[in-house]
């Protein structure tokens, strides 16, 4: 970082002198976040653990991971113009990987993890007219749901991202488009037009999660998506938020096909809608957060049948069915117990927390087969120790409850994370 700033300062000195050097540094912002997670799962990771649960009772496995490591760089050009980039490294970086596809009978697939392991999560240019009116264009975060709005690791207590929203929605949801946003003393709003979702990437296990991605070098935008978010801050320490998304997801892939009127797929559009409520409260050494999300996909049964046909010849699409709906609801609360013993210490904090959530990634359409294992309750209890405001050590015990015919899924996790600006 020091070397980067020195290079920038030297360039500014050559082009504009010492004053330009200082202005360039003052206008630069550099930051990031990252997390390390270590988990022991006291249940099987076999792809048949739900279809033959009794055969895999008592199995367990462990996983170490670096879920996210992010670097962001911003610059204020002046006169209301600014930019920001955010590069995310997921699971330690890029390269080839072998995966066992749960939804494809345990088939092994070798993949180059393009777009999933190293992602340009944000890249936009902004023009600010007033605090209440700003326009962004480029690659944007789509702030639908509580997690996409606040996805950095100090914004939730659990070691991993909150499971319900992370399962059914893209996370972090980012796409190319245009955004208009603004902030007043008690309100913040944002409206976005982005590339639409791809219904061929929807699935039983993850609903629309992978629909915002693309297996190609470009993102198909045969259809557009429309998103909006409104936040209210009228009550001190409390944020109340509504957000949503709407778009057509069918035939939004490559190559684009004209559906003739004689085809049984004529008129299928795959209307996809998401509605979400989330809130956060912080005060009196207490933090409480919650969310409730519901998603709907029209023509789900027809799309699922066509997906299976299109997945032949190694086409890069999800083979499993998508349901007509999915939902997720969660609530977490943490209390800083150090405030009981050292109320004057504003930096060190130790939160004891609990979280409960219920989610289901597959609500079948008429005529679709049931998948009872997709409905899950989950509880988590643990602590977050913050020796400094930018750092946290996390530990938790969690227990995932499925229907009685399946094995329960308890686990223990330990994590460490940071979230900071290094220069701004």
Domain harbouring 191, CATH code = 2.40.160.10
Q: Is the pLDDT of residue 266 over 60?
A: yes
Distance CA 101, CA 210 (A): 14
Quick: pLDDT tens for 364-398.
998 899 899 999 999 999 999 999 999 999 999 99
φ and ψ at residue 6, rounded to 5 degrees: -65, -45
Q: Which domain holds residue 386?
A: 2-423
Q: Which tokens sit at 124?
A: 């936009």
Residue with tokens 């957060």: 289
pLDDT at res. 15: 52
Higher model confidence: residue 12 or residue 345? 345
First to last CA, the chain: 13
With bands split at pLDDT 50, 70 and 90, how would you rate the model's confidence at 313?
Answer: low
φ and ψ at residue 423, rounded to 5 degrees: -160, 130
Cα 216 to chain centroid, rounded: 20
pLDDT at res. 91: 84
Quick: pLDDT tens for 131-179.
999 999 999 999 999 999 999 999 999 999 999 999 999 999 999 999 9
| String of DSSP letters for 110-173 | EEE-BTTTEEEEEEEEEEEEETTEEEEEEEEE---SHHHHS-SGGGSSSSSSPHHHHHHS-TT-
Integer-rounded Cα radius of gyration of the chain? 23
Q: Is the pLDDT of residue 275 over 50?
A: yes
Q: Write down the mean pLDDT value for the chain.
A: 89
Nearest to 359 by CA among 156, 205, 139, 160: 205
Q: Which of left, alpha, beta for 47 (phi over 0: left; psi -120 to 50: alpha)?
A: alpha
Q: Is the pLDDT of residue 216 over 90?
A: no
Q: Are 57 and 49 in contact (CB under 8 A)?
A: no
With bands split at pLDDT 50, 70 and 90, how would you rate the model's confidence at 115?
Answer: very low
Cα 15 to chain centroid, rounded: 41
Q: Is the pLDDT of residue 194 over 80?
A: yes
What's the number of domains the chain is made of?
Answer: 1
Nearest to 352 by CA among 395, 412, 410: 395
With bands split at pLDDT 50, 70 and 90, how would you rate the model's confidence at 106?
Answer: low
């Amino acid at each position: 970082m020091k070397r980067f700033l020195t290079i920038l300062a030297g360039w500014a000195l050559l082009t504009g002198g010492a004053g330009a050097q200082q202005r360039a540094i003052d206008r630069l912002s550099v930051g990031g976040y990252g997390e390390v997670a270590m988990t022991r799962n006291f249940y099987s990771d076999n792809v048949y653990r739900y279809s033959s649960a009794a055969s895999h009772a008592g199995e367990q496995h462990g996983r170490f991971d670096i879920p996210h490591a992010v670097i962001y760089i911003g610059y204020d050009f002046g006169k209301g113009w600014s930019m920001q980039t955010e590069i995310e490294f997921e699971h330690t970086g890029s390269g080839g990987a072998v995966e066992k596809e749960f939804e494809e009978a345990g088939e092994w697939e070798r993949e180059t993890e393009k777009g999933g392991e190293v992602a340009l999560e944000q890249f936009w240019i902004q023009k600010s007219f007033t605090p209440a009116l700003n326009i962004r264009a480029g690659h944007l975060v789509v702030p639908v749901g509580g997690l996409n709005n606040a996805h950095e690791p100090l914004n939730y207590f659990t070691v991993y991202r909150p499971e319900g929203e992370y399962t059914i929605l893209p996370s972090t949801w980012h796409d190319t488009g245009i955004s208009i946003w603004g902030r007043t003393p008690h309100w913040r709003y944002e409206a976005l037009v982005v590339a639409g979702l791809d219904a061929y990437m929807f699935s039983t296990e993850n609903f629309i999660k992978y629909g915002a991605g693309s297996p190609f070098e470009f993102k198909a935008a045969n259809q557009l998506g429309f998103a909006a978010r409104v936040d209210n801050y009228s009550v001190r320490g409390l944020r109340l938020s509504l957000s949503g998304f709407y778009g057509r997801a069918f035939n939004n892939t490559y190559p684009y096909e004209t559906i003739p009127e004689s085809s049984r797929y004529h008129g299928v559009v795959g209307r996809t809608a998401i509605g979400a409520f989330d809130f956060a409260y912080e005060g009196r050494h207490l933090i409480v957060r919650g969310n409730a999300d519901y998603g709907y996909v029209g023509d789900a049964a027809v799309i699922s049948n066509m997906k299976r046909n299109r997945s032949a010849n190694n086409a890069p699409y999800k083979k499993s069915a998508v349901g007509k709906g999915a939902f997720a609801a969660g609530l977490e609360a943490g209390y800083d117990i150090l405030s009981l013993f050292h109320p004057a210490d504003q930096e060190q904090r130790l939160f004891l927390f609990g979280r409960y959530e219920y989610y289901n990634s597959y609500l079948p359409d008429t005529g679709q087969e049931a998948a009872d294992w997709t409905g899950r309750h989950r509880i988590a209890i643990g602590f977050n120790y913050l020796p400094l405001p930018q750092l946290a050590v996390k530990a938790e015990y969690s227990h995932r409850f499925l229907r009685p015919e399946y094995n329960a899924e308890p686990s223990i996790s330990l994590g460490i994370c940071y979230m900071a600006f290094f220069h701004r």
